[in-house]
């Protein structure tokens, strides 16, 4: 689930409930989701006042105290930040629980992929975030074009390359390509100026609308609303949707709207 819009939702959870509050206890229920020592993680983040959370791509960065140590959170495919009462029973997939005076922030994740880390300084934060491209929600058209045309590659894998631009995942990219009427295997170097303008505009619209609700909506008017259907049809032209794999990811597209 978690792509840029989802992480934007988790950012709001932290901003609305945990920012300005001080951690009284940090419970690491599953050391597997914490990078490095679980004891050090809990110790370093206990008694810290959370600051304003920031999102870069799919990473959420929460400063504590003045700035460091920073909490760095990644949500893999199934993770989430959930706010609730301190007295609520733990969900079985609550891997780490940050307890504050007024409630608890729960890092809930079914699978356990990347998880939580902390950085003691700029250099350690850079070890995690340094290779990321600019955030997909803030990139301008010319930068988008420049970063995706450094070499000839398929458009879908290029958009999902977090070092090119950060934040887009499988669902976002299929939605953006469908709205842009571009096939997933279009060569980035073959696109012309009007197509870049259009792609940039659609990308922005998908991210804005999705971020507002904290997920890529599965409304009937969106391609995403039909990707799990057996006999899915294009919401624009009713053509049977096609399925395949690009960049190793399950891909859905409309062969009529997105001709190859």
Nearest-CA neighbor of 2 among 107, 86, 87, 75?
Answer: 75
Q: How far is the CB of 100 from DNA (least distance, A)?
A: 27
Nearer to DNA, 17 or 227 (CB): 227
**Identified catalytic residue from 58, 95, 145, 153:** 58
Q: How many CB atoms lie within 10 A of CB 246?
A: 20
Q: Give me the helix-helix angle, 193-213 and 141-148, nearest 10°.
A: 110
Nearer to DNA, 169 or 235 (CB): 169
**Smaller CB distance to DNA: residue 32 or 260?**
32
CA angle, residues 107, 226, 250, in degrees to nearest 5: 65
The CA–CA distances, whole Å, from 87 to 83, 90, 100, 103, 130 equal 12, 9, 11, 8, 38
Closer residue to DNA in complex, CB, 131/140 = 131
Residues 6+ apart with CB under 8 A from 173: 156, 159, 160, 184
Q: Cβ 76 to DNA, closest distance in Å?
A: 5
For residue 150, what is the enclosing H or E element? none
The least distance separating DNA from the CB of residue 260, rounded to whole angstroms, comes to 14
* Interface with DNA (CB under 7 A): 1-3, 6, 32, 57-58, 74, 76-77, 92-93, 110-114, 150-154, 157-158, 160, 162, 169-171, 246-250
Q: Can 150 be counted among the known catalytic residues?
A: no
Cis status of the peptide bond prior to 69, with omega within 30 of 0: yes
Catalytic residue among 3, 8, 44, 70: 3
Please state the closest distance from residue 6 (CB atom) to DNA, in A.
7
Active site residue 175: no
**Least gap, CB of 24 to DNA (angstroms):** 28
Q: Which of 99, 242, 249, 255 is catalytic?
A: 249
Q: Which tokens is 214 given?
A: 């904290």
* Residue with smaller CB distance to DNA, 99 or 161: 161
Q: Which of 2, 5, 53, 184 is catalytic?
A: 2
Asked about 112 being catalytic, the answer comes back as: no
Name the β-bridge partners of 119. 70
Residue 195 among the catalytic residues: no
Residue with tokens 């989430």: 80
Residue 16 DSSP symbol = I
* Positions marked active-site: 2-3, 58, 249
């Amino acid at each position: 689930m978690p792509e840029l819009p989802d992480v934007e939702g988790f950012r709001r959870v932290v901003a609305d409930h945990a920012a300005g509050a001080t951690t009284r206890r940090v419970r690491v229920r599953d050391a597997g989701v914490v990078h490095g020592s679980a004891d050090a993680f809990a110790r370093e983040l206990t008694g810290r006042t959370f600051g304003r959370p920031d999102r870069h791509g799919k990473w959420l960065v929460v400063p504590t105290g003045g700035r460091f140590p920073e909490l760095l959170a990644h949500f893999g495919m199934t993770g989430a930040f959930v706010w609730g009462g301190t007295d609520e029973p733990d969900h079985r997939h609550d891997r780490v629980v940050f307890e504050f005076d007024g409630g608890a922030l729960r890092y809930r994740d079914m699978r356990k992929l990347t998880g939580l880390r902390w950085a003691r300084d700029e250099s350690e934060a850079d070890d995690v975030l340094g290779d990321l491209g600019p955030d997909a929600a803030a990139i301008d058209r010319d930068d988008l074009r420049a970063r995706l045309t450094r070499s000839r590659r398929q458009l879908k894998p290029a958009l999902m390359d977090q070092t090119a631009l950060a934040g887009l995942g499988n669902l976002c990219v299929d939605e953006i390509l469908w709205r842009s009427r571009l096939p997933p295997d279009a060569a980035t170097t073959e696109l012309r100026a009007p197509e870049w303008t259009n792609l940039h505009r659609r990308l922005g619209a998908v991210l804005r609308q999705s971020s507002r609700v904290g997920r890529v909506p599965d409304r009937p008017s969106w391609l995403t609303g039909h990707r799990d259907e057996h006999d899915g049809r294009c919401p624009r032209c009713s053509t049977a949707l096609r399925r395949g794999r690009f960049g190793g990811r399950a891909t859905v597209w409309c062969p009529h709207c997105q001709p190859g």
